[in-house]
A and B are shown apart, each in its own frame.
Chain A
Amino acid sequence: MTPNRIREVLNKSFGRHAGESRHPEISLTPLDSGFRRNDERAKGFLVQSFLSALMLCTLLWLAGCAQVKPYEREALADPIMSFSRDPLSDQYLNHVYDVREGARGATTTQGGGCGCN
């Protein structure tokens, strides 16, 4: 991936204007300038939420770091303490929800592609 292509992909994810369609003859109406504003807000939100998450975890990590010794981690190693005990089953159930809902992402399983229309 060349640096230009990487920039293009990142731009598409974080800075792209949603108003562009595949049909150039449909002109942009005020509805689309709404998309542009959403885009920039989305980009800002993305970075801020990512940083907030990191921040939260740094502070929690500092709190937790000195206190849990390796020989005290028996409970944490138990399968019912994992976020996803049976990956295949959880992946299927997440797929059931993904197909029927508008939201996607940030689940405990990583999905493959699907015909979700």
Chain B
Amino acid sequence: MIDFERVENLSHARCQARNRAALLLFLAVFLACPCTVLAAVLPDDRTDTLYHYYDGGGVTVRGPALLVRKSVADTVSLSGRYYVDTISSASIDVVTTASPYKDKREEFGAGIDYLHGNSLMGVTLSSSKENDYQADSFGLNVSHDLAGGLTTVNLGYSQGYDIVQRVDTSFEEDINRYNFRLGVTQVLSRSLLLGVNFEGIAEEGYLSNPYRSARILGASLPERYPGTRDSQAVAVRAVQAFSSGSRPVISSLRAEYRYFRDNWGIRSNTLAFALQRYFGDRVLGEARYRYYQQSAASFYSDNFTTEMVYMARDKELSTFTSHSLGYKVSWKFLDRKYSFIDRMSLNFTHDYINFDYQDFTDVRTGEAYSFGANVLQLFVSAWY
């Protein structure tokens, strides 16, 4: 009699051993490259002051954002981030089950990057707070240049702790989140770059929204979510430079594809393109398009017919597609040194995103829900 469990365990162990061996082989191959020396560099010193505005689906979110980065002693880069969302929400979730509300979310972030030889090591801390949600996280990142800077390997880990509450009761639950990131960027030619990124996320805790309800045969009941969510995402990106007679790079085309899957049954594909072009010495224009498609979570339904262990009616877990078209204009209004500032630019972006849900109904109309949103950004960047 064949012991299937034992066979499965053995082959699993063998599989793990093979994977470990392949991994070591790749590390050996990477380190063995006899190519030349080109030091990694700290990120640019810069300050960005941004104002953002989102309007769509009955929700308006606006606010400032600030990023300040300064290097110290040639080997350390310090950064600070401040971000605010002021939300006026009359979204479909809110309007069909409650009443419109206003909220404000504030987020602070800080980071230190340390350059040592060909490696850049960084630590980041971040804390976000609104009246019914608190999220804190810390992250570690290591980026290493190999092959004379032609290959860069990136490893990242972050850990987050969220506290979920309700404004009207003493409800309180929490979430633990772990992210693992791995990426490789490779120079393929004088004008072509390729990047591959992987990110695995493990979450456990209260993963649903305490205000949202599911529907069963038309009636409401509280949602029931699994206590964990594990996901993996793989993305491939490439950038191609185009030259003209007057300059080595006049324009670039960026393409990216991301595949996402999780253990809630969601599968999604993202495809995006961006074309950037210089117009003269001071103006840079960008046109971008993004396509997103996802299939619903296995425990999602617009209207359940029987009671299940897990039930969700969050439209973010439904089957939908979204198309996004946008443009960005950057004007380098200061292109020579002024006091301690090297250059400054003024930037404006506008993206229009259309969401088309296949199995989420707008209960006000009985039709499948869809909406469009405008996302605007205006920001000033200074380099020093």
**A102 CA / B135 CA spacing, docked (Å):** 19
The residue of chain B having its C-beta at the shortest distance from the C-beta of A43 within the complex is B230
Residues on A with C-beta less than 8 A from B208 are 117
**A70 CA / B200 CA spacing, docked (Å):** 34
**A107 CA / B126 CA spacing, docked (Å):** 18
With beta carbons under 8 angstroms apart, the residue of B136, B196, B199, B263 that contacts A35 is B263
CB pair B297–A102 under 8 Å, yes or no, is yes
Residues on A with C-beta less than 8 A from B124 are 110, 112
Of residues A31, A97, A117, which shows the largest number of chain B Cβ atoms within 10 Å of its Cβ?
A: A117
CB pair A114–B317 under 8 Å, yes or no, is no
CB pair B248–A103 under 8 Å, yes or no, is no
Q: Mark A77-102, 1 if CB is under 8 A from B, else 0.
A: 01011110111110011001100111
**A60 CA / B126 CA spacing, docked (Å):** 36
CB pair A92–B241 under 8 Å, yes or no, is no
CB distance from A88 to the nearest CB of B (A): 4
CB pair A93–B294 under 8 Å, yes or no, is no
The stretch of B94-102, B264-272, B334-342, B359-367 in contact with A is B264-272
Residues on A with C-beta less than 8 A from B158 are 110
CB pair A93–B351 under 8 Å, yes or no, is yes
Residues on A with C-beta less than 8 A from B225 are 21
CB pair A21–B227 under 8 Å, yes or no, is yes
Q: Is the interface of A mostly helix, strand, loop or mixed?
A: helix
CB pair B198–A76 under 8 Å, yes or no, is no
CB pair A112–B261 under 8 Å, yes or no, is no
Whether B58 sits at the interface, judged by CB under 8 Å, is: no
CB pair A13–B150 under 8 Å, yes or no, is no
CB pair B198–A50 under 8 Å, yes or no, is yes
Instruction: Beyond the given A21-B309, A32-B309, please list 5 additional residue pairs across the A-B interface where CB-CB is below 8 A.
Output: A42-B262, A92-B83, A103-B231, A107-B235, A113-B161
The stretch of B70-78, B213-221, B374-382 in contact with A is B374-382
Residues on A with C-beta less than 8 A from B273 are none
Q: How many residues does chain A have at the interface if contact means C-beta atoms less than 8 Å apart?
A: 77
Residues on A with C-beta less than 8 A from B81 are 88, 112
**A80 CA / B284 CA spacing, docked (Å):** 9
Cβ contacts A to B, 10 pairs, < 8 Å: A13-B230, A38-B263, A60-B194, A78-B248, A81-B249, A83-B185, A92-B83, A96-B375, A105-B231, A113-B160
With beta carbons under 8 angstroms apart, the residue of B107, B233, B322 that contacts A106 is B233
CB pair A65–B193 under 8 Å, yes or no, is no
CB pair A58–B294 under 8 Å, yes or no, is no
| Pairs of residues from A and B, 8 with the lowest C-beta to C-beta distance, nearest first | A113-B135, A112-B126, A115-B133, A105-B199, A13-B202, A103-B260, A105-B233, A106-B233
Q: Mark B224-252, 1 if CB is under 8 A from A, else 0.
A: 11111111111101010101000011011
Residues on B with C-beta less than 8 A from A105 are 179, 181, 199-201, 231-233, 260
Q: Mark A3-15, 1 if CB is under 8 A from B, else 0.
A: 0000001001110
CB pair A115–B135 under 8 Å, yes or no, is yes
**A3 CA / B303 CA spacing, docked (Å):** 45
**A89 CA / B54 CA spacing, docked (Å):** 13
CB pair A75–B30 under 8 Å, yes or no, is no
Whether B384 sits at the interface, judged by CB under 8 Å, is: no
Answer whether A18 and B206 are a contact pair too, CB < 8 Å, given A68-B150, A105-B199: no
Residues on B with C-beta less than 8 A from A72 are 190
Residues on A with C-beta less than 8 A from B323 are none
With beta carbons under 8 angstroms apart, the residue of A39, A64, A96, A110 that contacts B189 is A64
**A113 CA / B208 CA spacing, docked (Å):** 16
CB pair A83–B237 under 8 Å, yes or no, is yes
The residue of chain B having its C-beta at the shortest distance from the C-beta of A99 within the complex is B316
With beta carbons under 8 angstroms apart, the residue of A22, A32, A38, A100 that contacts B316 is A100
Residues on A with C-beta less than 8 A from B347 are 86, 89
CB pair A97–B151 under 8 Å, yes or no, is no
CB pair B67–A114 under 8 Å, yes or no, is no
CB pair A92–B52 under 8 Å, yes or no, is yes
The residue of chain B having its C-beta at the shortest distance from the C-beta of A37 within the complex is B263
CB distance from A117 to the nearest CB of B (A): 4
Q: Which of B41-88 contact A (CB under 8 A)?
A: 48, 50, 52, 54, 65-67, 81, 83
